[in-house]
Each structure stands twice: as C-alpha cells, then as structure tokens.
Structure 1
Amino acid sequence: MIWMLGLGASAGACVRYFLTNLIKKHVKGSFPLATFFLNVSGALVLGFVVGIKLKTLPYAILGTGFLGGYTTFSTFNTELFALLDDHNYRMAVLYGILSYVIGISFAFLGFMLGQHLIG
C-alpha cells in the first residue's frame, strides 16, 4: 500500500509542477494564482472524495497521495510571507483570507456534491 501512496503523491506533484508552470506562463501579477488554484481545486476534490466515502486504499492513493502531492500548504505560506516581506500587505491579507475562505468553502462544496452523488 505504501508504494501506491507514493505513486499517487508523485503523480500529484508532477501535475502540480505542470499546472504551476502553465499558470505562471500565462498569468502575471503579484497574486500567487497558481498555488491558490491548486490548493482550492485540491480542497474541492478532497471534499468530494470524503463525501463519496472511498474505501481505505483508494482514499489513501487519491486523498493522501495524489492530493497531498498536488496541494501545497508550504508554498502557500512561503508566498504569503514573501508578500509580507515585500510590504505588499494588502495582497498578503487578500491571499490569506481568500485561500482559507474559498478553500474551506470548496471542500464543503465537494463534500456536499459527493454526499449527493451517493445519497
């Protein structure tokens, strides 16, 4: 099982790397849109995965593995503190608040969609 979890995490990290570069190539600005998109979309999918009540192994591969590699709390914090270090306080507050509020909202939305699907 541990190897499957590692493969899921590797795949999630590869998708994160690809999407981060794609978004940064096409979207410029000080708002860290790539990390924001990855974390919010990951929250939506994880909420859905929890909502449909996957069995242990598929949950470990997708929820813990893939989505653990796909989302990135450490990059979120690094970017948040980089904005603060650049004295871009307004953007830092906006990024922090939006990340938490929309992330939690999307996790709830995904959960509700999953519950409705199996309901």
Structure 2
Amino acid sequence: MIWMLGLGASAGACVRYLLTNIVKTYVKGDFPWSTFILNVTGALMLGLIVGIKLNSLPYAIVGTGFLGGYTTFSTFNNELFSLVRDHDYRMAIIYALASYIIGIGFAFLGFGIGVKL
C-alpha cells in the first residue's frame, strides 16, 4: 500500500509542476496564482472524495497521495512570507484570506457534491 501512496504523491507532484508552469506562463502579477489555484482545486477535490466516502485504500492513494503531492502548504507559506518580507502587506493579507476562505468554501462545495453523488 505504501508504494501505491507514493505513486499517487508522485503523480500529484508532477501535475502540480505542470500546472504551475502553465499558470505562470499565462498569468502575470504579484499574486501567487498558481499555488492559489492548486490549493483551492485540491480542497475541492478532497472535499469531493470525503463526500463520496472512498474506501481507505483509494482514499489513501487519491486523498493522501495524489492530493498531498498536488497541493502545497509549504509553498503557500513561503509565498506568503515572501510578500511580508517584501512589505507587500496588502497582497499578503489578500492571499492569506482568499486562500483560507475560498479553500474552505471549495472543500465544503466538493463535500456537498460528493454527498449528492
């Protein structure tokens, strides 16, 4: 089971890398859009799989593995502290609030959709 979780995490990290590069190519500005989009969509997907009540093995592979590799709390914090270090307090507050509020909202949305499936 551990190797399956590792494969899921590897796949999630690869998808994160690809999507990060795509977003950074097309979206410019000070706001860390790639990490924001990845974390919010990851919250939506995790809410969905919790809502549909996946069994423990698929949950471990998708929820812990893939979504653990796909989302990134450490990059979020690094970008947040970079904004603070650069004295861009307004953008840091917007980024933090948007990430938490929209992320939690999307997790609930995904859960609601999953329960209905």
Tell me, in whole angstroms, the C-alpha distance in 2 between the residues paired with 1:36 and 1:61.
23
TM-score by length of 2: 0.99
Where in structure 2 are the equivalents of 1:89-108 lying within 5 Å? Answer: 89-108=89-108
Provide the residue aligned with 2:61 in structure 1.
61
Tell me, in whole angstroms, the C-alpha distance in 1 between the residues paired with 2:49 and 2:73.
19
Task: List, as ranges, runs of 4+ consecutive aligned residues in structure 1 with deviation greater than 3 Å.
Answer: none
1:73 paired to 2:56: no
Cα offset, 1:86, TM superposition: 0.6
Provide the residue aligned with 2:14 in structure 1.
14
Cα offset, 1:26, TM superposition: 0.7
Provide the residue aligned with 1:34 in structure 2.
34
Identity %: 73
Cα offset, 1:72, TM superposition: 0.1
Cα offset, 1:13, TM superposition: 0.1
Cα offset, 1:103, TM superposition: 0.2
TM-score by length of 1: 0.98
- What are the Cα deviations for residues 65-94 of structure 1, in whole angstroms up to 9, with x where unaligned? 000000000000000000001110000000
Cα offset, 1:10, TM superposition: 0.1
What is the aligned length? 117
Q: Which runs of 5+ in 2 are unaligned?
A: none
Cα offset, 1:62, TM superposition: 0.2
Q: Which runs of 5+ in 1 are unaligned?
A: none
